[in-house]
Amino acid sequence: MSTHKPTAPARTYAAYSAPLWRRVLLTRETAVIALTAAVILYSIVNVPNFDGPLTLKFLLQDIAPILLIALPMTLVIITGEIDLSVASIMGLSSVLLGVLHENGMSVPAAALLALLAGLACGALNGFLIAYVGLPSLAVTIGTLALFRGIAVGLLGTKAVTDFTEKWSDVATGTIGDSRIPLVIIPFAVLAVAFVVLLHFSTFGRGVYDIGLNDEAAHFTGVDVARTKFILFVLSGVVSAFAGIYFTLRFGSARGDNATGYELQVIAAVLLGGVSIFGGRGRLHGVLAGVVLIGVISSALRLESVTVNVTNIIVGCLLVASVILPSVLASTSSRLPRKAATPPESRPTQNAASAGV
């Protein structure tokens, strides 16, 4: 025993780790950000009117709901779970806002109740997944149908459109004379909060631990059930907020509002480098993923390309982003490794590169 001890500290964690500049620059997140920047530059040069004054405003308004929901969705997917019911929660909060407003409630009061409804939806998901132990895929497919059903049932096929002008103006307005929509303010606040939560808190370490191995996380003192429950509640509340924004921006509360948004959110999260198997991913990559999809759609619309082609391109990008790392992993595993690296160091390396 005692003879082993002096040899162990000879190689420290830092010795196995890549240099800082490489850990920062050569990551999946950097790749997505670079790709996004490249697409933006390309569009500014080549797409007519992309450099126009309205582009930034419309682009940010279009992607705002996805940016918002992508924040909690990233954490949910890092724990290895998924929430497919987000778009239905958007639809439900939209309908509640409409119905309550139509019956004489002011917009802020109705919005508050819609947020509470989102919290309740998230709590239902979270309870079934975290405490009953059901798989999130099954639970949220169920609640996707359930919440959407309630939404359509409440309002039927009609729409509520007579929202107070003042509040629609808030949803479509910009900060002062700039091109930045007002909705970016709550988003920025939430984004900072989620970055702190995921990357700079014990809770966030727990999120990664659960994604890598929830049993091990449990034994290291992470309250797995509580963590998952909180994440689904957050997802519900933020989705409801996105639904309220969506409703006020388009001035229309309908049961089928935001149908299909869950796929856009999940696509952006996966494109941003979050592993669908959990345990891996960072928020800045995800946000770049959302912007990338938004810029591609905007540029293609300006080029009058039909929406089907846009979907094909985003789909291919998504598939490529999932396949490419695996292909490269198998290629690079055939390349000679660092000679000095002893075999037992590999688990350490994987943990270091796990995006923790």
Partner 1 sequence: MKFHTRRPTALAAILLTASVALTACGDDGGDGGDSGSGGDGGGALSMTMLPKNLGNPYFDTSTKGAEKAAEELGAEIEEVGPEAASPDAQVSYINTVAQQGQDALILSANDPEALCDAIDEARSADVKVVTFDADTNPECRDLFVNQATAEGIAAKQLELISEQIGGEGEIAILSASANATNQNAWIEMMETELAENPDYANIELVDTVYGDDEDQKSFDQTEALLQNHPDLKGIISPTTVGIAAAARYLSDSDAKGKVALTGLGTPNQMREYVENGTVESFALWNPEDLGFLATYAAAALVNGDISGEEGDTFEAGDLGEFEVGADGVVLLGEPFTFNADNIGDFDF
Map residue 160 onto helix, strand or coil. strand
Query: Binding to partner 1 by residue 54, rule CB under 8 A?
Result: yes
Taking residues 248 to 267 in sequence order and writing x for each that binds partner 1 by CB under 8 A, - otherwise, the string is: --xxx-x-xxxx--------
CB of 59 to partner 1, least distance (A): 9
Query: Binding to partner 1 by residue 38, rule CB under 8 A?
Result: yes
Query: Binding to partner 1 by residue 203, rule CB under 8 A?
Result: no
Structure tokens at 95: 């309908």
How buried is residue 301: exposed, middle or buried, by Cβ count under 10 Å (0-12/13-18/19+)? middle
Q: Which is nearer to partner 1, 122 or 273 (CB)?
A: 273
Residues constituting the chain: 356
Interface residue with partner 1 among 168, 227, 235, 264 (CB under 8 A) is: 168
Among residues 239, 262, 260, 248, the alpha carbon closest in space to that of 98 is found at 248
104: left (phi over 0), alpha (psi -120 to 50) or beta: left
Query: Binding to partner 1 by residue 178, rule CB under 8 A?
Result: no
Q: Which is nearer to partner 1, 97 or 129 (CB)?
A: 97
Map residue 181 onto helix, strand or coil. strand
Interface residue with partner 1 among 42, 131, 200, 277 (CB under 8 A) is: 42
Q: Which is nearer to partner 1, 34 or 137 (CB)?
A: 34
Distance CA 162, CA 102 (A): 8
Query: Binding to partner 1 by residue 135, rule CB under 8 A?
Result: no
Give residues with Cβ within 8 angstroms of 69, minimum separation 6. Answer: 86, 90, 235, 238, 239, 242, 261, 265
Residues that bind partner 1 (CB under 8 A): 18, 22, 25-28, 30-31, 34-35, 38-39, 41-42, 45-52, 54-55, 58, 62, 156-159, 161-162, 168, 172, 246, 250-252, 254, 256-259, 297-298, 301-302, 304, 306-308, 324-325, 328-329, 331-332, 335-339, 341, 353
